[in-house]
Amino acid sequence: MSDNSFGKLFRVTSWGESHGLAIGCVIDGCPPGLPLNEAMVQEALNRRRPGHGKYVSQRREPDLVQILSGVFEDDRTDGPRTTGTPIAMVIENIDQRSKDYGDIRDRYRPGHADFTYDAKYGFRDYRGGGRASARETAMRVAAGVVAKQILHHLYGENISIQAAMVQMGTDKIDRDHADWGRLYENPFWCPDEQAAARWAEQLETIRKNGSSIGAVVEVVAKGLPAGLGAPVYGKLDAELAGALMSINAVKGVEIGAGFAAAGLSGENNADEIRMGQAGPEFLSNKAGGILGGISSGQDIVARIAVKPTSSILTPRKTITSAGEETEIITKGRHDPCVGIRAVPVAEAMMACVLADQALRHRGQVG
């Protein structure tokens, strides 16, 4: 990964600050001939804000995406298709309120990147978090749409990548009651209806108190073939870990059994293999679909820990950029559980990593 790019054959570069003129991305390496239009990307972006404003902070802008290059349509195509050249997408920052940012300009918000950006660069666009803002993740979602088109192109319509919230605070879903077909029916992308109901109640209290709470998000890719990934450093799980950890507020990544694997014996951890109708079948999936860094054909399963946002109404001890001790309250927009926002982003990042590995695989082995 480079500072603002990731991927090797399918390469995403993002740019833009929270309160600059616009944010955008450039996607290089998409194969030619794939259907892609703004409506497809817009739909994915809209899902980032699933009509339940109380839990997700709302900028008063529609986040309208424009595709500026890399697609083309003429009378021989049924709509715009990719050309193989770089796809540039941009979203204007309409909602750049010219408010007074002196508060966060000079006082480092605990748990935010204010202090470290200053330590690194000495000079930064502090408005709304600048480059460190989660607003950047809109472009990841946009890139994820392109990545999914590639995966469908290569492996058919039956593959799927879905992310869901599986834990809020310490309250986990009940896997026996999980229905991944109904993720969109609650504001948490939660597969367990009852958990969603509990979380809704709890989060309302947290929101009113000006507090926040962490979460765990799970991403599952189904239908991918065995053989994707690379040995040693370019392992599929290593690249997933890097990509997922790069999402704002993520503090942990695990694959398959993850940290629970530390507590297992070899007998309980290694997934046995039998022959099924359609080929090898594993009797369990502790590995999360990845062995030796290469996909096994099972579901690819990753989970991320998302910390609670540090933008809370309780006054917090901090210092100014001049080194004076002070306190700060983070006013303004407020996400009581940023884990919700991380759901579509995690899904997109897995799609991007898989698309890149798929193209690399085809290049080396295809």
What residues from 84 to 123 belong to the interface with a copy of itself (CB under 8 A)?
84-88, 90, 105, 108-113, 115-117, 119-123
Cα separations (Å) of 129 from 109, 116, 132? 10, 12, 5
Tokens of 161: 């990548």
Of 19 and 161, which has the nearer Cβ to a copy of itself? Answer: 19
In this chain, which stretch among 41-49, 50-58, 174-182, 236-244 interacts with a copy of itself, using CB under 8 A?
A: 236-244
In terms of residues, how long is the chain? 366
Distance between CA atoms of residues 302 and 241, nearest Å: 9
- 128 counts as binding a copy of itself under rule CB under 8 A: no
Of 264, 294, 296, 265, nearest to 283 (Cα)? 296
- 152 counts as binding a copy of itself under rule CB under 8 A: no
- 39 counts as binding a copy of itself under rule CB under 8 A: no
The 160-199 contact track toward a copy of itself, x by CB under 8 A, reads -------x-xx-----------------------------
Of 51 and 122, which has the nearer Cβ to a copy of itself? Answer: 122
Q: Least CB distance from residue 52 to a copy of itself, whole Å?
A: 20
- 205 counts as binding a copy of itself under rule CB under 8 A: no
Q: Least CB distance from residue 290 to a copy of itself, whole Å?
A: 8
Distance between CA atoms of residues 266 and 294, nearest Å: 20
Of 144 and 288, which has the nearer Cβ to a copy of itself? Answer: 288
Question: Which positions from 265 through 294 interact with a copy of itself, judged by CB under 8 A?
Answer: 265-267, 269-275, 279-280, 283, 286-288, 290-294
CB 57 within 8 A of CB 333: yes
Distance between CA atoms of residues 328 and 106, nearest Å: 11
Q: Which of 227, 329, 332, 333 binds a copy of itself (CB under 8 A)?
A: 227
Residue 48's CB is within 10 A of a number of other CB atoms, namely: 17
- 206 counts as binding a copy of itself under rule CB under 8 A: yes
Distance between CA atoms of residues 337 and 249, nearest Å: 11
Q: Which of 135, 148, 235, 341 binds a copy of itself (CB under 8 A)?
A: 235
Q: Please name the residues in contact with 245: beta carbons below 8 A apart, sequence gap of 6 or more.
A: 253, 304
Residue 181's CB is within 10 A of a number of other CB atoms, namely: 9
Question: Which positions from 340 through 359 interact with a copy of itself, judged by CB under 8 A?
Answer: 359
Site size with a copy of itself, rule: CB under 8 A: 158
Of 161 and 282, which has the nearer Cβ to a copy of itself? Answer: 282
Q: Which of 57, 160, 246, 285 binds a copy of itself (CB under 8 A)?
A: 246
Q: Which of 146, 151, 241, 350 binds a copy of itself (CB under 8 A)?
A: 241
Of 293, 318, 321, 161, nearest to 233 (Cα)? 293
CB 305 within 8 A of CB 214: yes
Residue 62's CB is within 10 A of a number of other CB atoms, namely: 14
